[in-house]
Every structure is written in C-alpha cells, then in structure tokens.
A and B are shown apart, each in its own frame.
Chain A
C-alpha cells in the first residue's frame, strides 16, 4: 500500500524546535485512499443534514401516505407506521443524529481532553487519582448505566448527549494522557521549563497544539461511537420519542410490528445510513491515527467502549 507517513513531530524534534503541523492532514489525505473515502462520507452526510429541510420530498412529521406503504414511485423508500415518508424521515433524522453525535463528542472531548492533559502533565497524585476514577468508570457496564441515568433524568435529547459524553470521556483521557506524558519529555518542552515558563503557558503553547491531531482522530472515532450509542439508547426507549432520529426510526419500526407486517423498508435503509456514517468516521479517524503510528503506544478499535490495548501490528496494517 503506502509508506508510513513521516511524523512531522519527529523531524523537527532534532533541532529542539516545536514540530510543525502544517500540511499534516493534507499529507494524510494524499497518502491514504481510506482517509479520503472516510472524509467524503462524513462531509456528504453533513451536507445532507444541512440541506435536508430544503430537499426532503415530503414532511418528516405529517402523514403523507398509508401506514407501511411499500416503496413506490411517489415514495422511494415507502412509509413508516405513521404514514410518514421514509426518505424524508431519514434525511431529517440524520440532522439530529449527527447533532447528537457531535455534541456528545464535544462533551467527551472537553472532559476527557482536560483530564488527560492535566493528568499527563502534572503527574503525581493528581495523575493517580484521576486515573483511578477513570478505571472505575470504565468497568461499569455501559448500556445498563446509560439506562439508569436516562431513567433518572428522563428521556430527552440533552440527557442522551450528556450520558454518552459521560461514558466516552474516559478513553479520550487515557489516550491524551499517554501522548502528553511523552510530549512532556520532549526537548523543546524541557527547554521551556528550564527558562521558567509557567505550566499554563507550556500547556497551551506547546502541549495542546501537538495533541491536536490525536485529539482530532479521537474526536472522529468518538463521533462514531456516539451515533452508535444514540441508536441503542433510542431503541430502548430512552430518547424523546417525538423527535425523529435514526435511532427512533428503528425503535418505531420495532414497536409497531414492522417485521411481521413485512415492512422491511422501515428498517433496512436506516441501518445502512448509520453504518455508512460510522464507517466513514472510522476510516478517517483510523487513517489519522495510522499516520501518528510511530508515537502511539495505545490503539483503539472497540466501537462500544474503548480501552487502551497494546498495538497489534505495525505500519498501515496496524490496528
């Protein structure tokens, strides 16, 4: 396939200068076809989500056809249990699913990134405490925990976002921490400390920018998980049922006997778009992580919960 990308951080290191990131992402895209495909898929769905209200053939909430009408010339993907056009529902549902995905990821990134940086940089008892908390949270069974929390707070989009964010920050924290710990030892950081720069300044000026690519890779992969979890929570009835998301579409179909009524169109397209977005995120995020490979001590694959594992394989085939 292709040669492992030169890590720009390495190149500059030798001169005691902070490495340059410019062109890193473009480099990734140039080198890896998978990254282009992945990014393409993500962009496609974002654009679709934005223009959905303008190009939906019908309303996504009002009844425009018979209950479980099969696909036809007028309704390409048929209709659901409320007589609502499936294609329109998928388009509009994508908006909210993506919003939930990004919002939840934002929550996870902020918490996880913050914890990771603080923990990795300061070390010592702060590190130990934070990592212990992370460990404890990691062993709690995801879905059951989410069930309980969503029940306490009630079923709504905001709560789903918060729940997913709370479940996902731990793995981000671990990854960022590892990266920060190695960054801490870099020549240019040590020089900055030697000349008396304050911790805050070092973090914002030297550590944070270098953590960037890794954080982005992590973000993209977290979005995939967030969307996945959203569909699971919606399926179990923990999301506001009046809102249309890809998850609630599946849930309605299941509750209102789509299968025994033979209405496969209420189920199949929905899963396909969900998988497409997740695969897109996965390909793109993986590609970035690959590019950062040599420095990576940890790796991720599980779409359900992440745990740092030792790297399996090397180079472009590594996971």
Chain B
C-alpha cells in the first residue's frame, strides 16, 4: 500500500539519521582538546594516581572504539551515563532542563503562529493597502533582527516592569498554591517567550500571506463568489485551510530548530533550560552531558521532521511517496 510504504520509508530514514547523529555526537566530542580528567584532577596535592583513577572511572583509558560500543550498549538500555561534573545520571538532569525549556518554547511558538497567521490573513485580505505594507515590512524586519537583540530590546523596554530573569521567584518556604506558582512562572515567561515570538512570527506572516493570495486566486473561489457565498465564509472555510498547508510543515520543522535556537533566549533571560545546560557543559568538557543533550535535540528535530512528513502527507493527497 502506498501510504504504508511511504511511512516505512520515512521512518527508516529517520532511524538511520538518528544513528548517524549518535555516532557523530560521540566522536565529535572526543576530538575536543582538554578533558574532564584534567579539570577534575586539578586539586591541591593531586597525585598521578588520582588522575589515573579518574581516567579509569570515566572509561577514558579504553580505546575509542570500545568506548563507543559501550556507549551504544548503554544507550539502548536508556542509560546516558553519569555527568562528569554533577555526578548524577545525565538523563535526569536533561529531563529536568527540558521540563523548563519546552513550556517556554511552546508558548513562544504558539504565540508566533497566532500572530503570524492573523497578520498574514490581514495582509492577504487587504493586499496592496497600507496595513499590508506595514505588516509585511514589520514581519521582514522582525525576522531580520538578531534574536539576541530582540531579547535585549525587550529587557530595556520592560526593565522594572517584568522580571529580568529566572523562571520564578520562589523565596517562599511554603510551596505556594499551584495557580499562583503558575502565574509566577507565567510572568517570568513573558519576555523570553515574547522574544521567541518576535523572532519567529515573520516567516509565518509571509508564508500565510502568499499562500492565501494564491488560494484566493483559484477558480473555485471565483465560483463560490459567483454563487453568492459570503466572502468571509469563502476565506475561512476554503482559502485559509488550504493556505495553512505549507504552514504546517514550516511550524513542525521550525519547532525542532527553535528548541536549539532557544539557547540564546535562555542565556539572556537566565532561563534554566537545556540550551543553557549544553552551553555550560561544553566549557566543562562534560562529555556525557554534551552527548546526551546533543542527542536529545537532534532526535527531537528528526522526530518532528518525520511527524511533519506524515501530517503533510495526510493533508495533501497530491503528494506521493
């Protein structure tokens, strides 16, 4: 069956890509000069025995290919190793970080989609008019401003009004009520998610606008109007839905990159997520953390690509495998 074939083929490709990414991850980090042992052995009165003990403990004394096989075996068992620096299982640390990153990124992306779609529809509807020009140009500019600059601008504008950093203000001994806690996190999330929204919405605006304009030029729309159907119904029922098709792919693909790109936002706003964790881990040569983080981010991108392939396939019957 063609559909099943397509699914299997894309699925297989996804798996192979994951494997390549895993291997690339492993060897890439082993190329880095300096090692965790050098760092951790730098204690007063450190002895050669200590360095050796640490090297053995981290398995760095075995030949590379053997380390690689051990790594693969452990990975299959769901064990990503122990962080050199925190001495805790990597998977726990990364999951805790992801729990912080994902809500912020989701909110930001969702806001970008909402703003992008609405401005795109507005622009298409009022094509050629001043609102169209303003909206389109704003979109292009917002897209062109570096993400970190947008973040810094928001900080300048809202200094003192909104929290400048961190995820919440938990100077409380008794856990606050759930909703209050949520509100606290929400207030802290406004600026980082807002930055993500500003930096991402531009592309959605332009894509929706073009897509809608194309759809509005289709024959069936002309037919519908001739039949006397209200404009609004035409636009929403037919045009927008068709126009959203390329949006779906764009969103799904962007989401994968936004998770990695949220790194800049996390750094500016001290958001304790996976981007910041990765960045810290690089300086510390914490190989297990790096491998784990890199793997999670890469796999998420691959999985989202695969999902978008499926969704696109489902939505557009014109596509064949």
Contacts and interface: CB of A to CB of B under 8 A. Distances in A.
Establish whether A and B are touching in the complex (CB under 8 Å): yes
B246 A312 contact: yes
B28 A313 contact: no
A260 B160 CA distance: 10
B32 A270 contact: no
Give the most central of B127, B217, B246, B305: most A CB within 10 Å.
Answer: B246
Contacts of A309: 246, 249-250
B253 interface: yes
A312 B257 contact: no
Contacts of B144: 224, 228, 274-275, 278-279, 282, 303
A147 B290 CA distance: 11
Interface stretch (B40-48, B70-78, B147-155): B147-155
Interface residues of B, number: 65
Nearest to B34: A151
Contacts of B24: 136, 140
B278 A232 contact: no
Interface string A125-139: 000000000011001
Contacts of B147: 232
B159 interface: yes
Nearest to B209: A317
A275 B264 contact: no
Given A148-B282, A250-B146, A254-B268, A141 B152 contact: no
Contact of A141 (B20, B217, B259): B259
A235 to B, nearest CB: 5
A144 interface: yes
What bracket does the count of chain A residues touching chain B fall in? 35 or more
A96 interface: no
Contacts of A151: 32, 282-283
Contact of B20 (A136, A250, A305): A136
A307 B257 CA distance: 12
B267 to A, nearest CB: 7
A250 B149 contact: yes
A139 B305 contact: yes
B190 interface: no
A302 B254 CA distance: 9
Nearest to B123: A317
A136 B203 contact: no
Given A1-B128, A304-B257, 13 more contacts: A136-B20, A136-B21, A136-B24, A140-B301, A141-B256, A144-B294, A148-B29, A232-B147, A236-B279, A271-B146, A301-B203, A301-B207, A313-B211
Interface of B: 13, 17, 20-21, 24, 28-29, 31-33, 127-128, 140-141, 143-150, 152-153, 155-156, 159, 203, 206-207, 209-214, 217, 243, 246, 249-250, 253-254, 256-257, 259-261, 263-264, 267-268, 275, 278-279, 282-283, 290, 293-294, 297-298, 301-302, 305
